[in-house]
């Protein structure tokens, strides 16, 4: 499980880790940092003497295991598994695409156990994703998603500087015959979609947004960013005309929920991809 703490004062990262894990040697703590298991405000830090500022959140994540080389497992128990899906990998097979998917990799890994799909993220989106490993886990997770009792946070790099710096986007979305999602303010034409956003960082050309979903409609974030004239970088389907890092700049950064079977609070964090940082430096507005 992930360990968390908040810095009480400006201190080197190694010093803070020694305080939250006093039974671990300095060598062990340095290995955590070197292996990319330590994040500060959800960004991987690999320098032991990095100065953490007061109020920043430090997390130590479990050492990753892999279903295959490209599919890290963040957590597993008898009822569910949390993975870190890479950009470009389909979540599940579709009518038109039956190539290798996160689902097919997990089915091989856990065979003969059943792996059940509880939600999806876009092929070109990276980040945290859940699958069920038991019927009880499946029913419980599906109920959590249906009732919106799962906290989901995304990171997006969008074109331009978003103003105001935080807010709520609401519309009604529907999908056309060509599988393109559209947004309207007419409640009779679609299903309600609500996205909360906050500007975390800016650069002259881009903004880094932290987005949380109140609803989970298909392509919801992508459509809302297009609606407000700030398409996600690399999202040619929804209005972007540039692709500087050759990928959709959308990342499922975290998932938090109460385990549907054992009642424990779970939180999984996937650090912001390094390529995003090339576009936007961390100028914190929070």
pTM of the model: 0.77
Helices (H), strands (E): how many in the chain? Answer: 6, 18
Q: What is the pLDDT of residues 199-232, one digit of tens each?
A: 999 999 999 999 999 998 999 999 999 999 999 9
What pLDDT does residue 88 have? 92
DSSP per residue, the chain: --EEEE-SS-EEHHHHHHHH-TTS-HHHHHHHHHTT-EEETTEE---TTPEEPTT-EEEEPPPPEEEETTEEEEEE-SSEEEEEEPTT-BSS--SS--S-BHHHHHHHHHTTS--EE-----TT-EEEEEEESSHHHHHHHHHHHHTT-SEEEEEEEEES--SSSEEEEEEEEEE-TTS-EEEES-TTTSEEEEEEEEEEEE-SSEEEEEEEESS--TTHHHHHHHHTT-PBTT-GGGT----TTSS--EEEEEEEEE-TTT--EEEEE-PPPHHHHTT-------
pLDDT above 70 coverage of the chain, percent: 94
Looking at per-residue pLDDT, the higher value among 193 and 96 belongs to 193
What pLDDT does residue 2 have? 65
- Would you give the distance in Å from CA 257 to the centre of its chain? 14
Q: Which domains does the chain have, with CATH numbers?
A: 3-60 (3.10.290.10), 65-277 (3.30.2350.10)
Please say if the pLDDT value at position 95 is more than 80. Answer: no
What pLDDT does residue 32 have? 86
Query: Has 11 been annotated as catalytic?
Result: no
What pLDDT does residue 286 have? 37
Please say if the pLDDT value at position 180 is more than 90. Answer: yes
Q: Which range among 138-142, 241-245, 252-256, 272-276 shows the weakest confidence by mean pLDDT?
A: 272-276
Among the options 11, 122, 124, 235, which is catalytic? 122
Mean of all residue pLDDT scores within the chain: 90
The count of other CB atoms within 10 Å of the CB of residue 228 is: 18
């Amino acid at each position: 499980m992930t360990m968390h703490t908040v810095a009480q004062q400006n201190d080197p990262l190694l010093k803070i880790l020694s305080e939250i894990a006093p039974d671990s040697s300095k060598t062990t703590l340095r290995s955590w940092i070197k292996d990319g298991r330590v994040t500060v405000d959800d960004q991987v830090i690999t320098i032991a003497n990095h100065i953490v500022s007061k109020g920043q959140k430090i997390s130590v994540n479990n050492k990753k295991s892999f279903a295959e080389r490209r599919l890290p497992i963040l957590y597993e128990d008898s009822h569910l598994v949390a993975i870190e899906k890479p950009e470009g990998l389909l979540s599940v097979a579709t009518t038109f695409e039956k190539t290798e998917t996160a689902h097919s990799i997990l089915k091989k890994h856990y065979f003969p156990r059943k792996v059940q799909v509880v939600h999806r993220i876009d092929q070109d989106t990276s980040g945290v994703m859940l699958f069920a490993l038991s019927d009880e886990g499946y029913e419980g997770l599906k109920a959590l998603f249906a009732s919106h009792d799962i906290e989901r946070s995304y990171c997006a790099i969008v074109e331009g500087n978003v103003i105001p710096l935080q807010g709520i986007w609401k519309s009604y979305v529907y999908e056309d015959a060509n599988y393109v999602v559209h947004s309207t303010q007419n409640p009779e034409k679609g299903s309600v979609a609500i996205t909360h956003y906050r500007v975390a960082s800016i650069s002259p050309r881009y903004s880094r947004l932290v987005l949380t979903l109140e609803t989970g409609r298909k392509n919801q974030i992508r459509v809302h960013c297009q609606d407000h004239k700030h398409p996600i970088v690399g999202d040619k389907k929804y209005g972007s005309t540039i692709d500087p890092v050759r990928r959709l700049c959308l990342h499922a950064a975290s998932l938090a929920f109460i385990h549907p079977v054992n009642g424990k609070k779970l939180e999984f964090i996937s650090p912001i991809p390094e390529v995003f940082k090339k576009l936007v430096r961390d100028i914190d507005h929070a």
